[in-house]
Structure formats: C-alpha cells, structure tokens
Amino acid sequence: MLRDNPDAAAVRIYGTNVDPAAPALAACDVGEVEPHRVNNDVYADFALDFCRRHEIDVLIPPRRLDALAGHTDAFAAAGTRLMCSSPAAISVLTSKSRTYEAARAIGVPVPDWRVVSDADGLREAVEDIARAGDTVCIKPAGEYSAFGFRILDDSPLSMRDLLAPARPLVSVNAVADALKRAADEQEKVPKFIVMPYLEGPEVSVDCLSAPDGTLLTAIPRAKQGRYRLLLDNPALISIARQLVGHFGLAYLSNVQLRHRHGRPVLLEANPRASAGIFQTAFTGVNLPWAAVRLLLGHDPGPLSALRLGGRVAVTETVTEVGPAALATAAG
C-alpha cells in the first residue's frame, strides 16, 4: 500500500526483524537484523543508529513502541519522523489491565477480568469468572499480540472434539502447574489476564487520527471464516472514536472488539497499525499512506468515499522473492 500510493510517490522501504529469514525482509528494498531481547535503551539506540545510517524519512514501528515513544525529538534531529503516540498512552495500552480500567472509567464496555501471576490466584480467578456461567480464557497482560492466549477447559475430550479443528485449549491444572513450576525455579513470570471468552465475530477497527487524537476515519472489519466483512456500523466507530480521543492516539491505531450478551465490548486497543490493515485497501482509502502524509505535515488526502458493506476473502498466494540484502546489526 505504501508503494502503490495515490500520489505515485517513489517509496524505498527499509525493514528490520530479529529473524534474518523473515519473509517480510524480502519485500523490503533493504533488510537488516535487529537486536533480540534487549532492553529499551539498547533498542532505541539501535533504531536511531539505523535511521541515521540509512537517512530514513519516516519510521513506522509495529512493535517496541515503549522503547521509542519518548525519543521523538532525537529522531527528528536525525531527520526522521517517528509515527508514534505519546509515551503516556503507550504505557497504558501495553497493559491490558490498565487499558480496561481506563476504558471502563470513560464508559466503554469492558469484560470482567482478573490479573494473576501465580497458581492460587489463577484458580481463584477462574472460579470467580466461571461463576457467571462463562467459558474462561487466559492471556498475557502485556503486549503479546495473540501469543499466549488459551481457552481454559477441564471437561473430558469427546470423539467429536478429537475430530474437530484444533482449538487453543488447556486445562486449569496444566496452567496452574506451569505457574507453580516457574515460581519454584525462580523463572520470571509475567502477569496474565483471566476473563470470559467473548462471543464472536471479532471486530477490528482500523483508525486514522490526527496527532491530537481526533479520529479522521475508521474502518471496522469482522472475521467470518476466510472472509472479512467491511462493516458500515456507526456504533462500532463511535467506541473507537471515544478510545482514540481519550488516549490521544495519533496516526494509525487499532481497536479490537468482541461481543458479550450481544453487546460490543473492548478486547484491546493498540497504538499501532494492525497486521490486517492491508484488507482496508478494498474500501478505496489508503490508510498507511494517509498516515504518512499526516506525519509529514500534509493533509491526509480524500477520506470520505469509503466503500463499506462489502466482503473480501483472505487467501494464500505464492510469491517469488529474491535473497534479502541483510546486514547484521551491531548491538
């Protein structure tokens, strides 16, 4: 979408990844390996050095936002515009618990939840949530995308279960044992969220906003198997507008919703573009390029003629790629 922009501007794309074999690097003009499992200061130094060496005009970070958000001026001094919201917003939104607390305070519906980090806390949380008759799930409380998500289910397996598509199921005992074993071995244990498993379909609202958090346009997408529905639903956009405005989210962000008893409730809010933002191309608006225009101080271009209400299919394709030109990152 950046290359096929409506201004026909020539774009040269540089990418980094911790995995030198990442296919995304082959789609870049220049790829580089970035340092893995380093602290925020080391990562910020790497990013600044990368931008200086390659004379990067625009940096669009999809991760490690907490490492970069406080360095907008340093990047600007290097000639790079950083597409990032404020450190305060990122600090809240990288914690699902703090996100739910803030959203609930402004009237956005959120699920019941508990924060746990040990076996006893897990069992108590599961008992509390299950008391309402809900299926219970668990996931890391930090920014881990979908990694770590499990549905907690202690019921015996049936033949129907064995023949059905695999689901991320795990028993409460198995999770409790893992938490206890990690504690016994003095392994670092992150905080987890225990909450009801919310009804589908999951709705992802891709948002474009001004630097002050004013929502400019939003595109809700719902999953339906291999299809994505591009929804024309003002109620979902209203929730996204409320969250984006409250947190002052700038440029590209993403609000994820599911349903509880037929009502949309917040699943998470991300101060970055979603991985599925490419699906919005079928609405007739190029969100990534509009965000780049905003970041560079221009107007975002025409946004009003969204084609919503349609359905697109997510399919696999094979693309021939050449060897990525990789340089090993120092650090």
Angle value at C-alpha 241, between 140 and 264, nearest 5 degrees: 55
Going from N- to C-terminal start, the domains of the chain cover 14-88+317-328, 112-196, 198-313
What predicted TM-score, i.e. pTM, was given to this entire model?
Answer: 0.91
Query: CATH fold of 198-313, please?
Result: D-amino Acid Aminotransferase; Chain A, domain 1 (3.30.470)
Average pLDDT for residues 271-289, to the nearest whole number? 94
Q: What pLDDT does residue 316 have?
A: 82
Q: Distance between CA 248 and CA 271 in Å, rounded?
A: 10
- Residues 306 and 21: beta-carbon distance below 8 Å: no
Residue 67 has pLDDT above 70, yes or no: yes
Percent of the chain with pLDDT over 70: 96
Q: What's the mean pLDDT in 217-225?
A: 93
Per-residue pLDDT at 34 exceeds 90: yes
Q: Quick one: three-class SS letters along 233-255? A: CHHHHHHHHHHHHHHCCCEEEEE
Nearest-angstrom CA–CA distance, 278 and 287: 9
**What is the CA 200 to chain-centroid distance, rounded?**
18
Whether the pLDDT of residue 328 is over 50: the answer is no
Provide the pLDDT confidence category of residue 27 given band limits of 50, 70 and 90.
confident
Average pLDDT over residues 213-226: 94
Look up the CATH number of domain 112-196: 3.30.1490.20
